[in-house]
Amino acid sequence: MNDMLTVLGVLAAAAAGLWAWRRWHPVSFWYGVAFPARAVLVYLTWHHVASGCKLTRNRRRFRLTLDAVPVVGVASRSAATMVQQKRRVRRVDVERAPRLGILRPTRLGWRMRLRLHDGQVPADYEKAAEGIAHAWRVHSVRVVDVRPGYVTLWATMRDPLTEVILSPAPAELLKVRPGKLENGTDWVMDFRIVPHWLNAGATQSGKSNLANAIIRDLAPQPVALVGFDLKGGVEFTPYAPRLSALATNRKESVDLLSDLVGEVETRMALCRAHGARNVWTLPEGLRPVPIVVLVDEVAELFLMADKSEKDEVSRTATALLRVAQLGRAFAVYLIVCGQRIGSDLGPGVTALRAQLSGRVCHRVNDPETANMTLGDLDPAALDAARAIPAETPGVCVVAGQDGAWHRARSVYVPEYQAEQAAREYAHLTPDWQTLIGSVPVIRPAA
């Protein structure tokens, strides 16, 4: 009896210790206890899981068997028949699972490399990812790396996008960190690598919050911010102290885009005069200020109420496309936002979309907007975007600088925080007239 109580006491103390370890030091508990247990489970069940997801292949093998053969011509007084054991080589089919590599832990799960069977393609594993996740009781399984003959699966134990908290980090020129990716790493938008971005999303999907996060991170940097807000200025006017120029209607947009095209041509001539391929190879004293252009509701730039606006829309589309085509080399970057982005807006939208290599797709109301944003990149990304629920504002699908797509979520940035950043760093705002020379200035009201 005493021995039983001792064992129970030891088990209770061990359970309490494990609970406290997991509660107060979750990272070390994961690497020290939880992950090894999960690794054993994965290796033991992999063949069964692969078979259930139809990832196994039958391989023919030759096996030596012993068969009982009756002895012919031997008389026996008993009812039993005389038999003789003979060795035979038989060809049998053996079900084999894909070869599983070493499981490598991550902060949110693990990753593992698989060797494909002959005839398999990465799409087979993308289709089976949901079944594998359910079999292993994890949040998700993603194909994150594809190499000839191999794929890498990334298993995530929990959804890191449930609550997004960013740790402070030093500001780097033309880099913003608006949120987190589904693998737990920071979501980084580097405009020098991916210069132009398309940000699509319905009302209350997180599109405006992402713009707030970008403005907050760019405000303390030595850059010029330019806004196009065809909602009459209600979105960007609160950030006027940090904006060098703001257009709030079609007429102002045409003039401001003309200024931007002229500035790009001026920078082009400067680089040509000094034998530089882009502004970043110019001497630091001659290097112009980077310009980040934020366009809200891009559809308003292309919509026509009647034929009288056709010429104005055509000029707008041409100028915006020229800025997108030439801007990267001359430090002019675009962030184009919209609730609806469809081919019905005209060929100018499709041509502009092709220049916006960075894509962000929040929850959208129509499938064509999601298709215009992500359809030319990866069908799996399109499916993920369509599955974003309405109760998770800020969640989006991002295709950016690493060549892959990710689920992500922007950190919540209230409007007052972005407004406070705009006022705090208003002294960094370049004067538009000084920036572009003697061109008439469009200056937002303070």
pLDDT at 333: 96
Question: How distant, in Å, are the alpha carbons of 92, 319, 325, 346 from that of 247?
Answer: 75, 14, 21, 22
Indicate whether 122 and 215 sit together in one domain: no
Indicate whether 154 and 180 sit together in one domain: no
Per DSSP, 345 falls in state G
Q: pLDDT digit string (tens) for 163-180? A: 777 767 667 899 999 999
Which tokens is 384 given?
């993920």
Q: Is the pLDDT of residue 22 over 80?
A: no
Which tokens is 328 given?
């990267």
pLDDT at 335: 95
- If we measure between CA atoms, which residue out of 436, 114, 113, 417 comes closest to residue 245? 436
Give the residue from 158, 189, 214 where a domain finishes: 158
pLDDT at 223: 94
Residue 84 lies in a domain: no
Per-residue exposure over 156-193, b if at least 16 CB sit within 10 Å of its own CB, e if not:
bbeebbeebebeeeeeeebbbbbbbbbbeeebbbbbbe
Give the residue from 107, 129, 158 where a domain finishes: 158
Per-residue pLDDT band at 262 (split at 50, 70, 90): very high
- Is the C-alpha dihedral spanning 440, 443, 445, 446 positive or negative? negative
Residue 165 lies in a domain: no
Indicate the average pLDDT of the chain.
84
Residue 134 lies in a domain: yes
The CATH number for 382's domain is 3.40.50.300
Indicate whether 266 and 146 sit together in one domain: no
Please tell me the distance from the alpha carbon of residue 196 to that of residue 356, in angstroms, as a whole number.
5
Indicate whether 117 and 217 sit together in one domain: no
- More confident call, 40 vs 16: 40
Does residue 267 contact residue 288 with C-beta atoms inside 8 Å?
A: yes
Indicate whether 148 and 188 sit together in one domain: no
Percent of the chain with pLDDT over 70: 88
Indicate whether 260 and 320 sit together in one domain: yes
Please tell me the distance from the alpha carbon of residue 292 to that of residue 236, in angstroms, as a whole number.
14
Could you list the residue range(s) of the whole structural domain that residue 300 is in? 175-436
Q: How many domains does the structure of the chain reveal?
A: 2
Please tell me the distance from the alpha carbon of residue 51 to that of residue 241, in angstroms, as a whole number.
62
pLDDT at 19: 78
Indicate whether 131 and 258 sit together in one domain: no
Q: pLDDT digit string (tens) for 381-390? A: 888 888 888 8
Per-residue pLDDT band at 70 (split at 50, 70, 90): low
Indicate whether 151 and 181 sit together in one domain: no
Q: Which of 5-19, 135-149, 218-232, 306-320 has the highest mean pLDDT?
A: 218-232
Please tell me the distance from the alpha carbon of residue 295 to that of residue 227, in angstroms, as a whole number.
6
